[in-house]
Amino acid sequence: MGWLILANLEALVMGLPSVCTAVGGVPEVLGSGARLVPAENTSALVSALQSLLDDVESRHYWAQQSRQWAHNWYDVRAIADAYLAMYQGNPLPDLTRQPAPPISPLRDWLQQVNQWQICPLPKVLELPQQANVLVIAPHSDDETFGCGGTLALLQQKGCHVKVVIMTDGSQGDPQGYCNEDVVSCRQRESIAALNCLGVDDVMFLGEADGNFRYTPAIAEQLTSILDNFVADWILMPSVLDYHRDHVAVSLSVLTVWQQRGCRERVFLYEIWEPVPATWVVDISAVFAVKQQAVQCYQLPLEYCDYLTVVTGLVKYRGLNLIEQSGQDAEAFLELEPTSWRRVLSHLFNLRGYQESVFQ
């Protein structure tokens, strides 16, 4: 047991993943640095190791924590005195360790901040020519509100833009403003808005609005779409979005994207919650077209002045174009094959924290 404890402690000190068995005592020695993995569960072990290898900040934190534990460890004299007392039948000395003060990452973060640029801005994304761009929208209107200007520009550059709307829109009229079938109305408005943007390839999957779930059937459909369309880029909603359907759709697409080897460039667009942008697209030349497309969604506009909301977000993102003298922009967060797990983990944890507060 002792060798296992010391081996894991040494691994943590070096900032490496530590593999612990379920033998009693490991959590007491390593504290919350221990990962107890179910016996014979290979995937759980791989996941635990991968998460530690991907998360540099976490490894650095536990390395600091472990050095502090090692510094406070019992010295040889204390252990010898305890053994001597035990053999002599005397009361054992109190070897209870004082709890180590928590290590805060704030000091390290402050040092990192000192090395940062004074005020970096997201770069302007260069749009491709003649590319296949797949746009995933949880609901009708998400594609227009989130990245409609970019879609118009992509069409102008000769790209084939395909929009896949995941849900049927059946919950889009809770007050009963619509005089026709809600699903038909939502589809009609989507087609009209996309026509404004120059997009004529739209697909409706018809999943349950407000209750989207990842299923084997969804995975099969998404895989088929990606295989047949051969996309160069994928645009999808963010996992930070407040709407549960948006997050579920994003994670579903990313699951299939990962299974297929992360071939396409992936960009998350913003709707209900801004993304930590890595790119912006200057849509100043087509912003009027986007506004026209937004106005095609008459049913959603009965519930909210989305035109004003979308305009405000576009103008806010236009601040990132200060060096280019642009006024209107859409923002994206790109997920790269080498770092997407770590980035997504941070984003999802933040979204989970928000969810706990909102309750």
Tokens of 236: 């999808």
Topology annotation, domain 123-358: Rossmann fold (3.40.50)
The residue count of the chain comes to: 359
> What mean pLDDT do residues 259-280 have?
96
Q: Which residue has the higher pLDDT, 229 or 34?
A: 229
Nearest to 71 by CA among 103, 93, 94: 103
> What mean pLDDT do residues 87-101 have?
68
Phi/psi at 347 (5° precision)? -65, -45
Q: What is the DSSP letter of 85?
A: H
> What mean pLDDT do residues 10-27 have?
50
- What residue spans define the domains of the chain? 2-94+105-113, 123-358
Q: What is the DSSP letter of 42?
A: H
Confidence of residue 57 (pLDDT cuts 50, 70, 90): low
> What mean pLDDT do residues 60-89 have?
72
Confidence of residue 27 (pLDDT cuts 50, 70, 90): very low
Over 70: is that where the pLDDT of 238 sits?
yes
Max avg pLDDT among 41-45, 171-175, 248-252 = 248-252
Tokens of 171: 């919950």
